[in-house]
C-alpha cells in the first residue's frame, strides 16, 4: 500500500505520516527533507541558488541516503549526517528556491519513485508526505490525503517544532505563508486531487489525525477485496 499525504507548511504532515507509518507497520518518506538536503548541499558548495542549472547539477550529483524507518529518520548528504542541519532556519529560508527549480524537482521525483518502489517491494507499503505526492510522485497511491489546517494553527505547530527564540514571528510567518505561495507556483497542493480525502487538522490532536488516516487506509486496503467478493 502507498499512502500519499500532501498539504501546506505546518499542517502536521511529517508527524502524522510518521505516526500512521508506525501504527500500520509501513515505511515512511519525508520528501521535503530531500529538498532540504539538496539546499544544504548547494549552500555548502557556495552555489548561487538563483543559478538554476548549477543547482540542478548539484541535485543530480549529491549522494543522498534517506532512512525510511519511521522511528529513526536519518538523512545524509555526501556522507555527512544532515538530519539536524536541514532544519536550520537558513535552510528553511532558502529551500523554496530549490523546490521551485523544475530540474531539481525532476531529479528528486525520480529518486522518490525509486524509494517508493523499493519500499513496496521489500515491505509492502510506505507513507509518503510532501506537496505533490498524490498528483505527481505517486498518482497510483491507494490512499491520497490532503491534510490542511488554518494558518494560525499551522504557525503554532511550526513554532512548537523550533527551539525557543530560533526565529522571529516575522520569519515564522515567512516560512509558512511565503513558502506556500512560492511552492504553489510549481505544485498544486492546496486543492484535493481526484480521489483524495481532505482532512482538516485545525481542531484535531495528532493522535486523532493518525486515527482518521489509519482508518481510511484500512478501508482503502479492504476495498479491492470487497469488490472482488
Domain ranges for the chain: 2-223
Only one residue has cell 497542493, namely 189
What is the model's pLDDT at position 94? 93
Only one residue has cell 497510483, namely 140
Positions in the chain short of pLDDT 70: 161-167, 169, 175, 178, 180-193, 224-229
Whether residue 205 is annotated as binding a ligand: the answer is no
| CA distance linking residue 15 with residue 143, whole number of Å | 17
What is the model's pLDDT at position 166? 61
What is the model's pLDDT at position 141? 95
- CATH of the structural domain 2-223, one choice from 3.40.50.1000, 3.40.50.300, 3.40.50.2000, 3.40.190.10: 3.40.50.300
What is the model's pLDDT at position 175? 67
Cell (9 digits) for 30: 519525508
| CA distance linking residue 202 with residue 204, whole number of Å | 6
Whether residue 10 is annotated as binding a ligand: the answer is yes
Whether residue 11 is annotated as binding a ligand: the answer is yes
Only one residue has cell 501546506, namely 8
Whether residue 229 is annotated as binding a ligand: the answer is no
Q: Are the CB atoms for 86 and 65 separated by under 8 Å? A: no
What is the model's pLDDT at position 200? 93
What is the model's pLDDT at position 229? 38
Whether residue 9 is annotated as binding a ligand: the answer is yes
Task: Report CA Rg, the chain.
Answer: 17
Whether residue 187 is annotated as binding a ligand: the answer is no
Cell (9 digits) for 97: 528556491
| CA distance linking residue 71 with residue 48, whole number of Å | 35
What is the model's pLDDT at position 227? 43
3-class SS of residue 28? strand
Whether residue 12 is annotated as binding a ligand: the answer is yes
pTM: predicted TM-score of the whole model, two decimal places: 0.86
Amino acid at each position: 500500500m502507498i499512502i500519499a499525504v500532501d498539504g501546506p507548511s505546518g499542517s502536521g504532515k511529517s508527524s502524522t505520516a510518521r505516526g500512521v507509518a508506525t501504527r500500520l507497520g509501513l515505511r515512511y518518506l519525508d520528501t521535503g527533507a530531500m529538498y532540504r538536503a539538496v539546499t544544504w548541499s548547494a549552500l555548502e558548495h557556495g552555489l548561487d541558488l538563483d543559478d538554476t542549472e548549477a543547482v540542478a547539477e548539484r541535485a543530480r550529483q549529491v549522494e543522498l541516503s534517506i532512512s525510511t524507518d519511521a522511528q529513526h529518520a536519518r538523512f545524509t548528504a555526501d556522507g555527512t549526517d544532515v538530519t539536524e542541519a536541514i532544519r536550520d532556519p537558513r535552510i528553511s529560508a532558502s529551500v523554496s528556491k530549490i523546490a521551485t527549480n523544475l530540474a531539481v524537482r525532476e531529479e528528486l521525483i525520480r529518486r522518490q519513485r525509486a524509494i517508493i518502489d523499493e519500499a513496496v517491494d521489500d515491505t509492502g507499503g510506505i507513507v509518503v508526505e510532501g506537496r505533490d505526492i498524490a498528483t505527481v510522485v505517486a498518482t497510483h497511491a491507494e490512499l491520497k490525503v490532503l491534510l490542511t489546517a488554518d494558518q494560525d494553527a499551522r504557525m503554532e505547530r511550526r513554532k512548537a517544532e523550533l527551539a525557543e527564540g530560533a526565529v522571529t514571528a516575522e520569519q515564522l510567518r515567512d516560512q509558512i505563508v511565503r513558502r506556500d505561495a512560492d511552492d504553489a507556483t510549481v505544485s498544486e497542493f492546496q486543492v484535493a486531487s481526484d480521489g483524495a480525502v481532505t482532512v482538516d487538522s485545525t481542531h484535531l490532536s495528532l493522535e486523532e489525525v493518525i486515527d482518521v488516516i489509519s482508518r481510511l487506509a484500512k478501508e482503502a486496503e479492504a476495498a479491492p477485496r470487497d469488490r472482488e467478493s
